[in-house]
Amino acid sequence: MPQYDLRSRVRDAPVIGTTILTGSPTLVEALAATPFEVLCMDLEHSATTIEQLEQLVRAADVHRTPALVRVPEVGHYISRVLDAGAAGIIVPRIETAAQAAEVVERARYAPEGKRGSGPGRGAAYGASLASPDYSAVTNASVLVAIQIESAEGVEAADEILATPGLDAVIIGPGDLALSLGVRMGSDEHWAAIDRVLSSAAAHGVGTGAFCFTVPDAQRYLASGARVILSGGDLNWAVSGAMSEWHAIQSLSTEAETAGTR
């Protein structure tokens, strides 16, 4: 199994990735061949199952691109996606320090956590478990990230981000705006985001965000963000289709205009 050491990579420099919603191994393999440095498989907002996820991670491995998986919530999905070979996790909607501590506990082997050891794909179907340093190497390489994306999470950011073992906090700008009852990109929205980013810096936790525009990505990178997840397979399919449609429509309009002269 490839060892991506995503945890160290994020500490050293920004990692630019994109999001996978469609659950297509073919599309994942194609995108893994692009310059994007990580692919985020989204299990929170898609119908992707654990069985499908394993195929997506395998497709990303073809081009040695690490798979970062956003799980639906704190719970058993954390260990299952890591067993499938994910290089890291993102856990959404964290609002308390207790939730953050549970995330770390489920994602790390002892003595840092309580993750169970099993013969999944991530452990080369059990072959890697024979190595005496397997758990330590895995703990050192797997990225553990959470999302703060609610008013409650922002209020508790200092307590949450003081949790030992957290590598990064990823901003969910859309849900945060909904929770705050403000427009995304408004002064109130950015003030809440900056509060989280400042808290993360104080606790030595990396930062990142799901970005909808290039200017947003630029702003996060300027703040020192380490994980930028920009665009995604479904977004690009729709925007590409619409761009093609409008281009052909303009040709039709030009032809009709020329025909009336």
- How far is residue 14's CA from residue 208's CA, in Å, rounded to a whole number? 9
* 67 and 56 Cβ atoms separated by less than 8 Å: yes
Q: Which of 45, 76, 189, 246 is catalytic?
A: 45
Handedness of CA 159, 162, 166, 171 (dihedral sign): positive
Tokens linked to 163: 């949790």
- How far is residue 235's CA from residue 261's CA, in Å, rounded to a whole number? 40
* 23 and 56 Cβ atoms separated by less than 8 Å: yes
Specify whether 45 is catalytic. yes
Q: What residues have CB less than 8 Å from 78, skipping those under 6 apart?
A: 71, 89, 91, 103, 106, 107, 115
**Amino acid in the structure at residue 159:** E
**Which residues are known to be catalytic?**
45
